[in-house]
Amino acid sequence: MRSVNINNKCQRIRTWLYTVIENRIGFGAGWVQNHIAGCPRCQQRLASVGKVALAISIIKSQPHNLDLWMRANTKAIGVLKHSLRNCPKAEKLKAVLPEPKVFEKCFKYKNSIANTAACIAIVFLMKVGVFSSMNKFQSESEKIVRQYYTSQIGEDLADEIFSA
């Protein structure tokens, strides 16, 4: 019983030390590199961490099927002890598939959506621009025609024509 508590305590301390070293000092420090060069246990642990980091970067850089998550969970569960491998939560993890986010689902339609939005914007700008220009054009034209009639037939007759 006492060895279990010691192992848990050692594991917590190792995890804490690893986090402190990684966050504050970094693995590039000279004394850390010297220790790793002479300690087979640390070499093995860091090699494992490096393999995991490399595997994750490879997975991120290559396209993959949607069942990747399910396959990864199945492999991870396979290394657990027998009692954990057969629990209900482990069975759920073996069958889980990722659900892409709404944005990811629409990603293949991005060009169509962008083109549609651009067309709507152009139509909107045209409508606003054309109708405001038409109103301005109409009022300016009316002023010019009224001025013409005023000069040709007189102001009272022009008022009578344009008041109706």
Q: Is the pLDDT of residue 6 over 50?
A: yes
Give the pLDDT confidence score for residue 1 in this predicted structure: 46
Mean pLDDT calculated for residue range 9-14: 80
Give the pLDDT confidence score for residue 97 in this predicted structure: 64
Measured CA angle at 61 (ends 114, 111), to 5 deg: 10
Q: Which of 90-94, 100-104, 159-163 has the highest mean pLDDT?
A: 159-163
* 102-154 pLDDT, tens digit each: 777 777 788 888 888 888 988 887 777 766 777 777 888 888 888 888 888 88
Stated pTM of the model = 0.25
Query: Do the Cβ atoms of 149 and 160 come closer than 8 Å?
Result: no
d(C-alpha 35, C-alpha 32), whole Å: 5
Q: Is the pLDDT of residue 98 over 70?
A: no
* 28-64 pLDDT, tens digit each: 667 777 887 888 888 787 777 777 777 777 766 666 6
**What pLDDT band is residue 8 in, cutting at 50, 70 and 90?**
confident
Q: Which amino acid, residue 49? A: V
Burial bucket for residue 89 (CB in 10 Å: 0-12, 13-18, 19+): exposed
> Which one has a higher pLDDT value, 73 or 120?
120
